[in-house]
Structure 1
């Protein structure tokens, strides 16, 4: 599961990397948590655009109070199941999530720290995602997950579906089978950089409603 990532690049840098003609100044913070705004790249009218959306599809469980805030479903476990398959089959609901790193919790309960992962020689890279319009939060997005590679396995058994720059068009325009192939492949171990830190996993300044598990 990925519950925290960063995008420490400017709107102009994101636009240049993803070939977006008109950069959009987002209100998304550098550290992005579930239920909070993040920057997304999608296609509209035959061109790539940048847009601020909420990270996580709103989910209201049957056991929840009618007045309770929905839970953000920020990770996609299987594109072939549930609410994901219909969106995945339609290119208009696919997106690229720009990031400069993602974190997983490591350590003993109550003393977990942040271990960060990045892609070598890629100051900014893309996480494969889906988006839609929601009644609760407006535009929302979620990232696709897959089984981890050996570089990440010491910390977690899952990882985001990461894309190389020459694969962006295939994610946005490819067949449903192309998307399944991305989710089932193993991202190269040698391209992952891991940085262990002493940063506490839960910080006092992070949003109170962020889903951090």
Structure 2
């Protein structure tokens, strides 16, 4: 599952995704980690708009909440940064799948860990000759982190399966409009493996975290 990615440049996302508005936000680093600040494209008043949000839905497990209450502390949520396509109809995810909660994550490349446990390294997956991938995402408001988003994942196919058994849902440009605006019964059909070519950079950089 994807636990870090490099976001596409804002201007590249604006052009490729036909964005009309860009909200004001502080620039962040290009490598996004869970609970970091990343850029997404969503619909606001009928216009595709770039916003900045926290990557990951906050989740507090019942046992964590109970232990924190017993200790007189505030429970710390963990970021749920991936949403599996086969779980989107579950009670946890279903409430956040309407068009108003869908977004596009402009991803330049995403990372997976490979190699033996204890000395795993980074493998970066990208699409050759493309400035970005239009990755399907969900967003929601939260009390803990404000507006936040998560990345929709599906089974990996082709060369992408060499890096991990799952991969982000990468949308063809013709399907971006449907993901942002169609009812979920139609948009759900877009949550399928990417069948186009991918490029994998098997680096020697140690996987940290």
The normalised TM-score by structure 1 is: 0.88
Against the structure 1 CA distance between its residues 127 and 26, is the aligned structure 2 distance closer, same or farther, given a 3 Å change threshold?
Answer: farther
CA distance in 1, matches of 2:105, 2:42: 9
| 2:206 counterpart of 1:197 | no
Across the aligned residues of Structure 1 and Structure 2, the Cα RMSD in angstroms comes to 1.5
CA distance in 2, matches of 1:21, 1:154: 37
CA distance in 1, matches of 2:155, 2:75: 32
Which residue is equivalent to 1:182?
190
- Tell me how many residue pairs correspond in the alignment: 199
Q: Residue 92 of structure 2: which of 68, 83, 104 is its match?
A: 83
Q: Tell me if structure 2 keeps the 8 A contact 1:96–1:129.
A: yes
**Within 5 Å, which residues of 2 pair with 1:1-213?**
1-9=1-9, 11-24=10-23, 25-64=25-64, 65-66=68-69, 67-77=74-84, 78-88=87-97, 90-183=98-191, 185-188=192-195, 190-202=196-208, 212=209
3-state SS, counterpart of residue 205 of structure 2: strand
Bigger mean CA offset, 128-137 vs 113-122: 113-122
CA distance in 1, matches of 2:99, 2:8: 27
CA distance in 1, matches of 2:183, 2:75: 38
Task: Could you tell me which runs of 5 or more consecutive residues in structure 1 were left unpaired when the two chains were aligned.
Answer: 203-211
Against the structure 1 CA distance between its residues 136 and 73, is the aligned structure 2 distance closer, same or farther, given a 3 Å change threshold?
Answer: same
CA distance in 1, matches of 2:114, 2:91: 30
Task: Give the Å deviation of 1:8.
Answer: 4.4
**Cα-to-partner distance string for 1:2-47 (whole Å, 9 max, x where unaligned):** 10100141x2222122212233454331000001110010001000
**Cα-to-partner distance string for 1:65-91 (whole Å, 9 max, x where unaligned):** 242320000000121113211221x21
